[in-house]
Amino acid sequence: MQNISPYQRLQTELEQIINAKGAGAKLPSEPLLAKNLGVSRSTLREAMRTFEVQGLIRRRQGQGTFVVGKQKTFEGGLEVLESIETLSQRIGLNVSMGELQVKRYRVEKENQSYVNFPLKAAVIQIDRTIIAEERPIAYLIDIIPVAVLDENDLQQGFDGSVLDWLLKRGDPVLSQSHARIDSIAASSEIAHKLQVQRAAPLLLMESDVYDTSGQLVTHSYSYFIPGFFDFHIVRKVANKKF
C-alpha cells in the first residue's frame, strides 16, 4: 500500500467523519476534534478549509461547524459570457441577491488600476453577494461609468446581475468580454462577505466587457467559492504542418 502523508491521512479521516453525518448535523467542536484526531487546531482548520470550499461544511461564527451535504454545481463554458442567474436556471437552483452596496466616485490616480477607467471619469461601483441554499456562494463587484448606468437605473428591477440588466435594456450593445481567472486566498473583508475563514481559497474572475464600438462598459471582480462552480473551456487543436 502506498504511503500517505499525515496531512492526507487527516483529510481522509475528516472526510469519513463528515460523510458519516447527515446534512445539518453539527461536527464536534474544534478543540475536541483536534484532540480526537491528534493534531493541532491550526492544522485542523487548514484541513477543514478543503471541505468548506467544496461546500460540504459550513462554519457559523459562535455556533460551530455544520455538514451541508453535496450541492448542485454551477457549470459553464468560458467561451460564452453568462450570469450566475442564467446558470442557475439551467440547473434548476434558485439564487437571490444578498447584501447590496452602491457607491459613486471619480477615478483618481490611486484607484485607476483597480477601476480601469480614464482619470476623472464618474463611475458607480455595485457590490453584492449572491445567495444559494441559504448561504453566500459569490461576491460580485461591478464598476460602470455613470453615463452607462446610475443609481436610479438600479431601482428598475435590478436583481443582482449587471450583465442581464444591460442585455435586457439593449443599450449599449455588448460585444465581447476579456477575463482572467486566478486562485486567491480570501482577505478578511471577502471572507466575511462569503462567510468563510480568512485565507480560504477562492476563485477570482476579473473581467472587462466591451460594446460593439470597442468601448469598455464594465470592469468587474467576481469571487467564487470553488465547490459551487465548475468553469471549463473548449479549445480547438491547431492544425500544424510538420
pLDDT digits (tens, 9 = 90+) for 130-144: 998 778 899 999 999
Confidence class for position 3, pLDDT limits 50, 70, 90? low
What residue segments make up the domains of the chain, in order of their start?
6-67, 74-232
Q: Which fold has domain 6-67?
A: Arc Repressor Mutant, subunit A (1.10.10)
Contact (Cβ atoms closer than 8 angstroms) between residue 84 and residue 65: no
* Strand ranges across the sheet with 201-211: 95-106, 122-132, 135-145, 216-224, 201-211, 174-185
- Nearest in space to 215 (alpha carbons), one of 150, 154, 148, 149: 148
Q: How many CB atoms lie within 10 A of CB 167?
A: 14
Please tell me the distance from the alpha carbon of residue 103 to that of residue 113, in angstroms, as a whole number.
Answer: 18
For residue 237, CA distances in Å to 32, 71, 240 come to 53, 34, 9
The residue with cell 500517505 is 4
Q: What's the pLDDT band for 71 if we cut at 50, 70, 90?
A: low
**Domain 74-232 CATH superfamily:** Chorismate lyase-like (3.40.1410.10)
Of the pLDDT bands very low, low, confident and very high (cuts 50, 70, 90), residue 51 is: confident
Backbone angles phi, psi at 176, to 5 degrees: -150, 165
Residue 1: band (very low, low, confident or very high) from pLDDT cuts 50, 70, 90: very low
The pTM of the full predicted model, rounded to 2 decimals, is 0.79
Neighbours of 189 (CB within 10 A): 10
Strand partners, 184: 202
CB atoms closer than 10 angstroms to residue 136: 20
The three-point CA angle 19-24-28 to 5° equals: 65
Domains 6-67 and 74-232 share a fold: no
pLDDT digits (tens, 9 = 90+) for 183-213: 999 999 999 999 887 888 899 999 999 999 9
Give the least confident one: 57-66, 77-86, 136-145, 218-227. Answer: 57-66
Residue 93 grid coordinates:
437552483
What 3-state DSSP class applies to 211?
A: strand
User: Is the Cβ–Cβ distance between 218 and 143 less than 8 Å?
Assistant: yes
Residue 22, class by beta-carbon neighbours within 10 Å (0-12 exposed, 13-18 middle, 19+ buried)? Answer: exposed
